[in-house]
Amino acid sequence: MQQLEIEYPAKRIMNVRTPNMKFENHLQNMLIDTEEYHQQKTMINEKIGKLYQKRKVSSNFKKKQEYAKTINETIRQWNEDYPKAPNYYDLHGMTEQGAIDYVLDIVKWMRVKNVKTSRLETGKAFDISADLQELSQTPVCVVCSGVKSILDIPKTVEYLETHSVNCVVYGEGNVLPSFFTRKSGSKAQFQTESLEEVVELLKTSKTLGLPHGTVLACPIPEKYAADGDLIQQAIDQAVREAIEQNIASQQVTPFILARVNELTQGASMKTNIALLENNASIAGRLAAKLCDRRPIAISKMNRNQSSMVSKPKVVSIGAAIVDFEAITNEDVKDDGGSYNGRVVQRMGGVARNHAEALGRLGCESIFVSAIGDDQNGQFFRQNSEKTDITRVQMITNRPTCTYLAVNVKGNVKYGIVTSEPLLSTLTPKLIEANSDVLECSDFILLDSNLPVPLMAKTLEIAKKHEKQVWLEPTDIDKVKKVFSTGLVDAVTATSPNANEFLEWAKLCNVKVDTSIVNSADSVLELIEKEKRRLLLNTSLFVVTLANKGSAVVHRNKLGQLEFQALPPPLQMDKVVSVSGAGDSFNSGVIAGLTHNKSVVESLQLGQECARLTLQTTLAVSEAITPQLLK
């Protein structure tokens, strides 16, 4: 308890005094100490508490003012009915403005009645540390040993709780530690012995956009608890000495630390180091778990075995393109000649191909894109029965994207695309308008045909909501787009071909001999050597090398990297068209992961989907069905 003494005439208006034992004994003779007084005090405290609660939950400003007025008037009446002593005023519970007004009225009364001294009771000093204020407005996790025992622990906990700061005890029992002792007597919001639960708490807070911090309080290790008890005794003695010597304000902590070190003969330093090491160990493990983004754990849906089994939701974002492929088995030369073959029209576009394949594999496949109001746009609508296209915009006065590929003996020599007139009209508003499906998706497929601002908005939403993103680079010139967003760390998986991988390495400042892509093993050796720079934050990295197979790097259940060379899905002499084969492979892997299959099983599914598509002129084989998942 702290008394504020007011003298009139005013030598000092409010003099803060920390009472020593002599002063307390003198004051005690003046205070009312009856059973009725304490009963009434309890009742008034309960009444004030209820009024504050009503004021806190009220959304009406005028009503809040009325509650504040009632609180202050109730406390004034209490002082008139139950004064502790003559000219003694108890300001506990008053609002800040209410207390100021009351003090001014007391001064006026003292002037009129010629009263020389009045005493005000305001409770313990509430010196709020800047650390506490920062925790209330910064989403950071502080790993510590609890609240310092020299502080007012209940009030510290109350302040944190009032300002929505999560207080979590990491250990047995929901009792906050106080640095050198394992139990302070104050409770936290909850207790856990699982860092995974702490990770979920932090991620949920981030997803909800909460601006508040989290305190993870870690009790002193059991083997140091006995030393901690002795140190606490020294702290208690140092605090008493500080009071007796009238040491206050910023001088308190240095005095106590020096005195405790002296009383324990240096033992407090050893225990302090043990606390730091324990906190650092826990913080390191927590940080590792927070950074763990393994695709093996992407599926967290609670699917039951009833007929109402939910499908995994995958959102594909990118271009919808009508493909025209010229196919020939003749020896084509750069001579301007004509060659026998055939021309096939089909639906294409990297993201659209993924959307169809995922729909065929039993996923709830949602396609976000745009088409023109023309004949090719009509062709798209007529050939999208496996995909939810309700989120595809129709743009007037712009042609639907088209692509012409020249396929010579199973290999696409080059292609010509007309996508810029339509795609250039798209803005991040397209992504914002569909943020609801992104936020509740199990996986997002993003192709690099889109303008950089749209890609950036997609990755921003995915990162905020901890969504898995598979990036398909689409071609060598578009690899740089994802780096231009500044959010390449939001990419979970990617699947560049040989040329795209060389460009990726260049953008990662890794010097590569172009011959490295002549074999999957050479690519894997390079990735193992330069894994930190090349993999960035990805958990699955696939380099497709045409007839040389694929180089795959993924994280296993322990978060460790595994390297695997995959053979080509099909012998080259049996390939009809390579268009869409890579998209089918990616879709098979995504479908496997979202159906709770392992990474290895998902890769096998991807290989089978690619094999089926390679044997058809379609961008996605009609033989791809949910049966492949069984």
More confident residue, 560 or 126: 560
- Looking at residue 152, its pLDDT comes to 67
Q: Which helix (H) or strand (E) holds 445?
A: strand 443-447
Lowest mean pLDDT among 137-151, 292-306, 472-486: 292-306
Q: How far apart are CA 380 and CA 273, in angstroms?
A: 67
pLDDT at 389 over 90: yes
| pLDDT band per the 50, 70, 90 thresholds, residue 19 | very low
Rg of the chain taking only CA atoms, in angstroms = 35
- Looking at residue 454, its pLDDT comes to 95
Fold match between 130-290 and 313-629? Answer: no
Percent of the chain with pLDDT over 70: 88
Name the fold adopted by 313-629.
UDP-N-acetylmuramoyl-L-alanine:D-glutamate ligase (3.40.1190)
Q: How far apart are CA 169 and CA 379, in angstroms?
A: 60
Query: What CA–CA distances, in Å, run from 369 to 46, 358, 395, 467?
Result: 60, 16, 10, 19
Residue 495 has a CB neighbour count (10 Å cut-off) of 23
Pairing relationship of beta strands 15-17 and 3-7 according to DSSP bridges: antiparallel
| pLDDT band per the 50, 70, 90 thresholds, residue 368 | very high
- Looking at residue 2, its pLDDT comes to 42
Q: Residues near 268 by Cβ (< 8 Å), separated by ≥ 6?
A: 180, 231, 234, 260, 261
Q: How far apart are CA 358 and CA 361, in angstroms?
A: 5
Structure tokens at 157: 């906990």
Q: Residues near 367 by Cβ (< 8 Å), separated by ≥ 6?
A: 315, 316, 320, 351, 352, 355, 384, 387, 388, 389, 391, 392
- Looking at residue 300, its pLDDT comes to 40
Q: How far apart are CA 471 and CA 316, in angstroms?
A: 10
pLDDT at 37 over 80: no
| pLDDT band per the 50, 70, 90 thresholds, residue 86 | confident
pLDDT at 445 over 60: yes
Q: How far apart are CA 555 and CA 276, in angstroms?
A: 32
- Please give the full DSSP string across 504-540, using - where no structure is assigned: HHHHTT----GGGGG-HHHHHHHHHHTHHHHHTT-SE
- Looking at residue 1, its pLDDT comes to 42
Residue 203 has a CB neighbour count (10 Å cut-off) of 13
With respect to CATH, is domain 130-290 assigned 1.20.1180.10?
no
Mean pLDDT computed over every residue of the chain? 84
Percent of the chain with pLDDT over 90: 44
| pLDDT band per the 50, 70, 90 thresholds, residue 298 | very low
Average pLDDT for residues 387-392, to the nearest whole number? 95
Which three-class secondary structure string do you get for 117-176? EEEEECCCCCCCCHHHHHHCCCCCEEEECECCCCCCHHHHHHHHHHCCCEEEEECCCCCC
Place of tokens 């009725």: 36
- Please give the full DSSP string across 217-283, using - where no structure is assigned: E-PPPGGGHHHHHHHHHHHHHHHHHHHHTT--GGGHHHHHHHHHHHHTTTHHHHHHHHHHHHHHHHH
Q: Residues near 300 by Cβ (< 8 Å), separated by ≥ 6?
A: none
More confident residue, 31 or 446: 446
Instruction: Return phi, psi of residue 337, to 5°.
Output: -85, 170
Of 471, 468, 481, 474, nearest in space to 446 by CA: 471
Lowest mean pLDDT among 130-144, 268-282, 299-313, 368-382: 299-313
pLDDT at 3 over 70: no
Given a contact cutoff of 8 angstroms between Cβ atoms, the answer to whether 252 and 245 are in contact is no
Q: C-alpha angle with apex 86: 152 to 106, nearest 5 degrees?
A: 75
Give the burial class of 62: count Cβ atoms within 10 A of its Cβ; 0-12 exposed, 13-18 middle, 19 or more buried. exposed
- The CA-to-CA distance between both ends of the chain, in Å, stands at 72
Whether the model clears a pTM of 0.75, i.e. scores above it, the answer is: no
- Looking at residue 235, its pLDDT comes to 82
pLDDT at 486 over 50: yes
Q: What letter represents residue 535's amino acid?
A: L
Chain centroid to Cα 379, Å, comes to: 41
- Looking at residue 555, its pLDDT comes to 86
- Looking at residue 149, its pLDDT comes to 65
Lowest mean pLDDT among 7-16, 51-60, 158-167, 301-310: 7-16
- Looking at residue 435, its pLDDT comes to 95
Domain-wise residue ranges, the chain: 130-290, 313-629
More confident residue, 10 or 553: 553
- Looking at residue 256, its pLDDT comes to 81
- Looking at residue 32, its pLDDT comes to 53
User: Which tens digit of pLDDT belongs to each residue from 180-203?
Assistant: 788 887 888 889 998 888 988 998
Average pLDDT for residues 141-158, to the nearest whole number? 79
pLDDT at 123 over 90: no
Q: How far apart are CA 346 and CA 356, in angstroms?
A: 12
Given a contact cutoff of 8 angstroms between Cβ atoms, the answer to whether 322 and 405 are in contact is no
- Looking at residue 128, its pLDDT comes to 61
pLDDT at 314 over 60: yes
Structure tokens at 363: 């996923």
The three-state secondary structure class of 315 is strand
More confident residue, 50 or 541: 541
